[in-house]
Amino acid sequence: MAADNLITSLQNPKIKRLVALQQKSSERRSSGIFVIEGIRELLHCLEAGYVIDTLFYCSEIMGNTPEVQKIYTLAETVRSYQVTKEVYAKIAYRDSTEGVMAEVQVRTLSLHNLHLPENPLIVVLESVEKPGNLGAILRSADAAAADAVIVCDPLTDLFNPNLIRSSLGAFFSVPCLTCSSQECIDFLKKKNIRILTAQLQDSHLYYNTDMRGGTAIVLGTESTGLTNVWREAADAHIRIPMLGKLDSLNVSVSAAILLFEAVRQRT
């Protein structure tokens, strides 16, 4: 392994920059760099073709598994710094940590370069703001082999560390992009992809709705649901039956239910 600089202080400028990238979306936007943490996430990131800008790792924590050896090999080829266990404990975003973090170059996807197969399955989210929910939806999208997740009029940064962490690497396996609601509607209409909006009003049970063709499942926030622009653009309104006293599910749970109904119909 190449001789790496050892960082022993939280006051080191490189550590201060790393922390700023974790905490501030403005820092991520201006630099075009985001942070990932964890061996599995880093390996998924590399498989997806992202470019590592800087690697930070702690040998005392990492252990000696085949996956860890891949990280050491990576450290030979990119700018990398070893940090002490005490420094790593302070900068780690996760409670349970694996001893590796990386600054990664942002790579943005747009509707113009989104490549879809015949009869795609897409999740569309309007103004969903909790990074943890977005991460969980990406995990379900990966499990259901969805072709894309489109976040319209976003209220959170796609490169938020909590989003990437909660996706457990699915952020790198499912194409994910942002745009306005109208841009997305125009795109779906042009591609002849049916728009199915999840809503309680004027809707049909989801399992009675055909999802075998090109389908976009559209969900809004848990507090206010979808705006009228989506309700009016929809080809069908669908709902999940609510048999208890409450009238809503967590948006990530709803997404999983609807995605796997599409999987059931398509298999």
Q: Do 5-105 and 111-266 have matching folds? A: no
pLDDT value of residue 154: 85
103, 32 in Cβ contact below 8 A?
A: no
Question: Which pLDDT tens digit goes with each residue over 159-196?
Answer: 999 899 899 889 999 999 999 999 999 999 999 999 99
Reported as a single tens digit per residue, the pLDDT across 27-48 is 999 999 999 998 889 999 999 9
Find out whether 105 and 99 touch, Cβ atoms under 8 Å.
no
The CATH superfamily label for domain 5-105 reads Ribosomal protein L30/S12 (3.30.1330.30)
Question: What's the pLDDT tens digit per position in 123-157?
Answer: 999 998 889 999 999 999 999 999 999 999 988 88
Q: pLDDT class for 93, splitting at 50, 70, 90?
A: confident
Model pLDDT, residue 201: 83
pLDDT of residue 112: 94
Q: Own/partner pairs for 41-49, CB < 8 Å, 24+ apart?
A: 41/164, 41/165, 41/168, 41/169, 41/172, 42/71, 42/74, 42/100, 42/102, 43/67, 43/70, 43/169, 44/169, 44/172, 44/173, 45/102, 45/104, 45/169, 45/172, 46/74, 47/172, 48/172, 48/173, 49/107
Question: Is 50 exceeded by the pLDDT of residue 214?
Answer: yes
Give the residue, 96 or 186, on which the prediction is more confident.
186
pLDDT for position 242: 87
**Domain 111-266 carries which CATH code?**
3.40.1280.10
Termini Cα distance of the chain: 48
pLDDT tier at 95 (50, 70, 90 boundaries)?
Answer: low
What pLDDT does residue 138 have?
A: 97
Cβ neighbours of residue 259 closer than 8 Å, sequence gap 6 or more: 121, 123, 140, 141, 143, 144, 146, 217
- Locate the domains of the chain by residue range: 5-105, 111-266
The pLDDT score that the predictor gives to residue 167 is 93
**pLDDT above 80 for 221:** yes
Which residue type, as a one-letter code, is found at position 201?
Answer: Q
Give the percent of the chain with pLDDT over 70. 97
Mean pLDDT of the chain: 92
